């Protein structure tokens, strides 16, 4: 086969425009459309002055800078220096900026100043998809994933190791100061670099010691007994790669089904917490999804990590069915309180031998409040063949203590035993798991770039916004116009 002629020095009489080099269905065009559709009010929410400042040197247009960041997040380019470089030599970036080349400082200043208010963009993606009826709001799935903090494991200390480090640093400072005093250089204008570093480290260690729980400062806020000196909000989390300093990133998704065979999912709620445990997150994530999408989704799929009586009861109260494995300790004791049948009308229980236990009042201890039910007459129990197995209390007979969530948990157990619940639960894994795989492997979020929980939340919000934009782009590229006017 003959070779094509190749000439790198070829000059063009009529060179193509940048616009001609970007295909019509390219994601950069979609990002530009998304950004260009932002109204003045949206820019104000982002804390951006869309017309620039009246005085001073001309600045880069915020539309250009925001487009670069969004497209960068969508394509796994999240560092300012890589974005700077992309703005010099990559056609989609050159097209997005109108052939301007903001440097990494400009890009960083824009992101640093506005990233915490960019959550509005995430809401906009969800409301757009909902308004266009692209999302199936009959069901949603929630899960969390552990993401590495921008900090090394070796920088995590407990109180004893912090004290040892402090002693070492103090010794090093004394030694450096002694060397400086003994020198012939006289008074130096500023601290030598090594000494300044050690003093900064001493300050960080002292601050970290203050933030660790102790006898004088008990662990009232469940602060970690260890602290990372690089990112003090990061907690040790168990991952497949072992224990690492990280965060627990949460997401709620609903399925997407659009014309042209586009399927997938859309994130409707997101958060980052420094608790490895998911159990306290179910209601909060459900509420957030409702606030963002404007719809109360009737069915929520969650794994066993979210199991908590309070949340099962709250979701039931809100009229939302939760599909989640029952983690209450199973028992097959024939006279366990679960074997007693509750009658809501009379607020009483009926025992396996048909005797009634009536409500007698509230009982509370340090841990919880419970409703107490007693058999009407102790003699009934004494004469029962189950006496000795069901109860041994001669004077009072059998009593039941029903916690505030027992009814909800019992109802949940019955529901989870149905085929319908089991079938619904099988949808959970394929609905939520691809999200984390895509965010980590395709958007490059194995590790957060920022530090501190507030900034890490902002970064996660940008990641889920980028994920939603990718989903909407797949719809857009089929030729379906996107209506960027969500209420």
Residue 211 has φ and ψ, to the nearest 5°, of -85, -10
Tell me whether residue 59 or residue 396 sits nearer to ligand SF4 (CB atom): 396
Tell me whether residue 119 or residue 398 sits nearer to ligand SF4 (CB atom): 398
Query: DSSP code of 261?
Result: G
Q: Minimum distance from CB of 384 to ligand SF4 (Å)?
A: 3
Q: What residues form DSSP beta bridges with 400?
A: 373
Are 264 and 256 a contacting pair, CB within 8 Å?
A: yes
Residue 150 has φ and ψ, to the nearest 5°, of -85, 65
- 131-139, 142-150, 323-331, 350-358 -> range binding ligand SF4 (CB under 6 A): 350-358
Q: Which two tokens stand for residue 444?
A: 């490059």
Q: Minimum distance from CB of 252 to ligand SF4 (Å)?
A: 44
Q: Is 151 in the site for ligand SF4 (CB under 6 A)?
A: no
Q: Is 400 in the site for ligand SF4 (CB under 6 A)?
A: no
Tell me whether residue 335 or residue 436 sits nearer to ligand SF4 (CB atom): 335
- 201-209, 230-238, 265-273, 381-389 -> range binding ligand SF4 (CB under 6 A): 381-389
Q: Is 144 in the site for ligand SF4 (CB under 6 A)?
A: no
| Residue with tokens 């009072």, as numbered in its chain | 396
Q: Is 92 in the site for ligand SF4 (CB under 6 A)?
A: no
Q: Name which of 225, 247, 268 is nearest 127 in CA terms.
A: 268
Distance CA 411, CA 405 (A): 10
Distances (CA, A) of 81 to 86, 102, 111: 9, 10, 13
Contact pick of 74, 94, 308, 375 for ligand SF4 (by CB under 6 A): 375
Tell me whether residue 43 or residue 340 sits nearer to ligand SF4 (CB atom): 340
Q: Is 402 in the site for ligand SF4 (CB under 6 A)?
A: no
Distance CA 78, CA 68 (A): 10
Distance CA 99, CA 328 (A): 61
Q: Name which of 309, 371, 369 is nearest 340 in CA terms.
A: 371
Q: Is 351 in the site for ligand SF4 (CB under 6 A)?
A: yes
Q: Minimum distance from CB of 360 to ligand SF4 (Å)?
A: 14
Contact pick of 81, 353, 447, 483 for ligand SF4 (by CB under 6 A): 353
- 164-172, 262-270, 315-323, 384-392 -> range binding ligand SF4 (CB under 6 A): 384-392
Tell me whether residue 263 or residue 360 sits nearer to ligand SF4 (CB atom): 360
Q: Is 287 left (phi over 0), alpha (psi -120 to 50) or beta?
A: alpha
Residues 420-479 binding ligand SF4 (CB under 6 A) are: none
Q: Which residues contact 80 (CB under 8 A, 6 or more apart)?
A: 104, 105, 107, 108, 111
Are 74 and 466 a contacting pair, CB within 8 Å?
A: yes
Contact pick of 249, 282, 297, 381 for ligand SF4 (by CB under 6 A): 381
Tell me whether residue 389 or residue 429 sits nearer to ligand SF4 (CB atom): 389
- 250-258, 260-268, 378-386, 432-440 -> range binding ligand SF4 (CB under 6 A): 378-386
Q: Which two tokens stand for residue 76?
A: 């796994």
Residue 331 C-beta-side C-alpha neighbours within 13 Å: 10
Residues 31-50 binding ligand SF4 (CB under 6 A) are: none
Q: What residues form DSSP beta bridges with 141?
A: 253, 301
Are 20 and 470 a contacting pair, CB within 8 Å?
A: no
Q: Is 324 in the site for ligand SF4 (CB under 6 A)?
A: no
Q: Is 406 in the site for ligand SF4 (CB under 6 A)?
A: no
Contact pick of 125, 150, 156, 391 for ligand SF4 (by CB under 6 A): 391
How many residues are listed for the chain in this entry?
A: 487
Q: Minimum distance from CB of 355 to ligand SF4 (Å)?
A: 4
Distance CA 27, CA 36 (A): 14
Q: Is 374 in the site for ligand SF4 (CB under 6 A)?
A: no
Q: Minimum distance from CB of 410 to ligand SF4 (Å)?
A: 18
Tell me whether residue 158 or residue 343 sits nearer to ligand SF4 (CB atom): 343
Query: What three-state secondary structure class fits 148?
Result: strand
| Residue with tokens 């999408």, as numbered in its chain | 293
- Provide the binding-site residues for ligand SF4, judged by CB under 6 A: 335, 351-353, 355, 375, 380-381, 384, 386-387, 390-391, 397-398
């Amino acid at each position: 086969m003959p070779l094509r002629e190749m000439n790198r020095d070829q000059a063009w009489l009529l060179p193509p425009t940048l616009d001609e080099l970007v295909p019509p269905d390219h994601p950069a065009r979609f990002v530009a459309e998304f950004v260009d559709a932002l109204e003045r009010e949206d820019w104000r929410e982002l804390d951006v002055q869309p017309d620039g400042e009246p005085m001073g040197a001309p600045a880069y247009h915020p539309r250009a800078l925001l487009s670069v960041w969004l497209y960068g997040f969508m394509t796994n380019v999240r560092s300012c220096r890589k974005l700077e470089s992309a703005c010099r030599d990559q056609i989609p970036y050159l097209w997005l900026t109108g052939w301007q080349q903001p440097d990494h400082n400009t890009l960083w200043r824009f992101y640093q100043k506005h990233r915490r208010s960019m959550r509005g963009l995430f809401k906009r993606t969800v409301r757009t998809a909902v308004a266009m009826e692209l999302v199936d709001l009959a069901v949603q799935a929630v899960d969390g994933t552990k993401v590495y903090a921008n900090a090394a494991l070796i920088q995590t200390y407990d109180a004893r190791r912090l004290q040892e480090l402090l002693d070492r640093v103090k010794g090093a400072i004394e030694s450096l100061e002694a060397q400086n005093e003994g020198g012939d250089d006289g008074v130096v204008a500023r601290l030598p670099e090594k000494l300044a570093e050690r003093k900064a480290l001493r300050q960080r260690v002292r601050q970290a010691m203050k933030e660790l729980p102790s006898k004088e400062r008990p662990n009232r806020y469940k602060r970690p007994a260890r602290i990372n000196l690089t990112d003090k909000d990061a907690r040790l989390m168990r991952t497949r790669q072992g224990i690492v300093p990280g965060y627990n990133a949460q997401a709620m998704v609903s399925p997407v089904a659009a014309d042209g065979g586009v399927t997938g999912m859309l994130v409707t709620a997101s958060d980052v917490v420094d608790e490895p445990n998911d159990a306290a997150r179910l209601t909060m994530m459900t509420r957030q999804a409702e606030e963002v999408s404007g719809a109360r989704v009737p069915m929520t799929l969650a794994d066993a990590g979210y199991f908590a009586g309070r949340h099962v009861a709250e979701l039931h109260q809100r009229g939302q069915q939760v599909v989640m494995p029952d983690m209450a300790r199973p028992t097959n004791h024939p006279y366990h309180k679960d074997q007693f049948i509750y009658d809501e009308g009379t607020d009483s229980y009926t025992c396996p031998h048909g005797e009634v236990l009536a409500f007698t009042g509230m009982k509370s201890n340090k841990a919880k409040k419970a409703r107490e039910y007693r058999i009407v007459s102790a003699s009934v129990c004494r004469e029962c063949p189950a006496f000795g197995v069901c109860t041994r209390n001669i004077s009072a007979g059998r009593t039941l203590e029903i916690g505030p969530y027992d009814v909800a948990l019992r109802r949940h157990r019955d529901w989870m035993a149905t085929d319908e619940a089991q079938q619904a639960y099988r949808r959970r894994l394929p609905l939520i798991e691809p999200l984390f795989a895509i965010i980590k492997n395709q958007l490059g979020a194995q590790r957060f770039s920022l530090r501190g929980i507030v900034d890490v939340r902002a970064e996660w919000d940008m990641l889920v916004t980028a994920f939603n934009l990718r989903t909407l782009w797949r719809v857009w590229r089929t030729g379906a116009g996107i209506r960027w006017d969500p209420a």
